[in-house]
Amino acid sequence: MITTRTLYSLLRDGISEVQIQGEIVVVDADKILFQSSDAIGSYPARSLLKPFQFYATGLNFEGNTKIQHIAALGSISANEEQVQSLRQAIQGESTELVLSKIKLPVSFPMDEQHRAKLKSGGMGPEQCFHTCFSKHLAIVESCEKNKWPLDSYLAVEHPFHLKLKSKMEELLQEPLTDLLWVTDGCQLPSPVLRLDQMARLFQLLAEAKTDTRLKTIRNLMVENPDWIGGPERVDSKVISKNGGRVIAKEGADGLLAIGVLPSAEYPRGLGILVKIAAGYLPQSAGLALRPLFDVLGLSSPVNPPAGQNINFHYKPWVTPQTEMKDISPLLNSRAAVWPGDKSFNRKIALDMNGGSNYTLSSIETTVHIGSHTDAPNHFDLKGKAIHQVDLNKYQGLCQVIEISKPKATAIKPEDLKGVPVLAKRVLFKTTSFPNPEHFNEDFNALSRELIEYLSFRGVKLVGIDTPSVDLFDSKELPTHLATLKSNMAILEGIDLQGVQPGIYELTALPLKLEGLDASPVRAVLIKKD
């Protein structure tokens, strides 16, 4: 599930050129301090979990820590220096036997220079160039130590993965009974976790309060930043630039984790997770965290590209609230209806004010009241009734356009000069029906030519803040009929007072009234970035 929002925009000369969608979660030891979206998504943790996968191996750090164990905490770029150090570290007959058990695809190095040199020299891919090589090596070593089966270590039911699950439950202090697993690119199972769970794991790793093995893993990450990724990788640069204050780990498909070590302000540290919706864009992930880094006094290694300015769409510690703008007039006996139509009338059968245990009432009204949508059978004998209409037209991105014209006139395509149509649903604000409790006949409407113009641009719903898309004295209803020809939904009677032109999310679903020619709707707008 992706529950993203726009984290930042890159602008060139004031014009938005790039928008980065994603999600950010910040936790301390007790709670979620900040989340950039209303909901928190769940994703395969994949290589983000490498410190905890090594933790689950149970391998000890004795004497001088083995370089392959340090490399297992990260996803190294496999530059020439790293590969040479690894090869020297794993020399020996017993290690060669272990290497033969590794079930890891061959790969070229992530490091561009080393990869290019290998290809130009006619060299092929190898297991030791893979970013997960040291992780597999550590798992195989733990299988040997714990007498676990080697042939099946890629299976979810293998003791190692059960141990990893148990360790995560122990750290998170919550059961992972319905934990989902996916197959990682290196063929190992990877658990699907919520972003706040991943952030919590990195907060616990940064804190490492009582667990000496976690503390050793944390310290090794702080002391060996280039072995977590590589000299030019974002996670390595975050660690290097912040002088022992943070740990960081890039994850596959757009994840970046930060563990902020304990400080006077945050005595148990912080865990930060960013997910970039478009996938593995580590520079974008690092850039997205700059507002948080600024607040925390940390240094970001990523700057906006040359020639572009940046506009952040979130504020640290301020979790956005969904602000709905209700564009539905109040329905009551005072609500104005089309002359001759049935006014709203409430009948009370039981009333708690009269001594009953509950209140029970019914209403009698025209279905063309307040904010409402017309069904095709309102103006076409063979048209669909309201219970048969396509609901997709009534929910999604919409554009509010404000037009000022003389009263009792219809909006035409030329009135939109200089206003591009940007969404598949368009609502027109005319302010020509200012009082929903008083019916004035000189309201604005829409022309047949405008419907044809909008239809050519893919618009599938048109709305207006007046009682009808046709003028009051229209008898042939040319605009209604044009919407029928264009397969366009109609939304009438909405209240756009106080709504500024722009892009919104519209929800205005009709009731499932069998055979009826219209339905009142509760129309709401949510402002979009």
**What length is written for the chain?**
529
208: alpha, beta or left? (left if phi > 0; alpha if psi -120 to 50) = left
Tokens at 477, concatenated: 């209803």
**Amino acid symbol at 523:** A
Closest CA to 209 of 166, 258, 167, 269: 269
Count CB atoms within 10 A of the CB of residue 409.
Answer: 16
| Catalytic residue chosen out of the listed positions 378, 387, 438, 480 | 378
Say which residues have a Cβ less than 8 Å from residue 50's Cβ, sequence separation at least 6. 72, 73, 74, 75, 132, 135, 249
CB 238 within 8 A of CB 83: no
Strands 32-35 and 15-27: antiparallel
State the Cα–Cα distance between residues 311 and 288, nearest whole angstrom.
10
- Show the DSSP H helices in 298-356 as ranges: none
Give yes or no for a contact between 344 and 48, defined as CB atoms under 8 angstroms apart. Answer: no
> Rounded to an integer, what distance in angstroms lies between the CA atom of residue 142 and that of residue 69?
11
- 50: number of CA atoms within 13 Å, CB side? 34
Local structure of 157: helix, strand or coil: coil
Amino acid at 159: P
Contacts from 447-450 at CB under 8 Å and sequence distance 24+?
447/410, 447/411, 447/412, 447/413, 447/479, 448/478, 448/479, 448/481, 448/482, 449/412, 449/413, 450/410, 450/411, 450/412, 450/413, 450/415, 450/416, 450/479
Collapsing DSSP to helix, strand or coil, 52 comes out as helix
Closest CA to 223 of 95, 324, 73, 435: 73
Q: How far apart are CA 434 and CA 104, in angstroms?
A: 70
Q: Which residue has the tokens 């994703």?
A: 43
Closest to 161 in 3D by CA, of 145, 183, 131: 183
Task: Measure the N-to-C terminal CA separation of the chain; round to a whole number of Å.
Answer: 20
CA pseudo-torsion sign 359, 363, 367, 369: negative
Clarify whether 378 is annotated catalytic: yes
The torsion angles phi and psi of 395, rounded to 5 degrees, stand at -140, 130
Catalytic residue numbers read 378
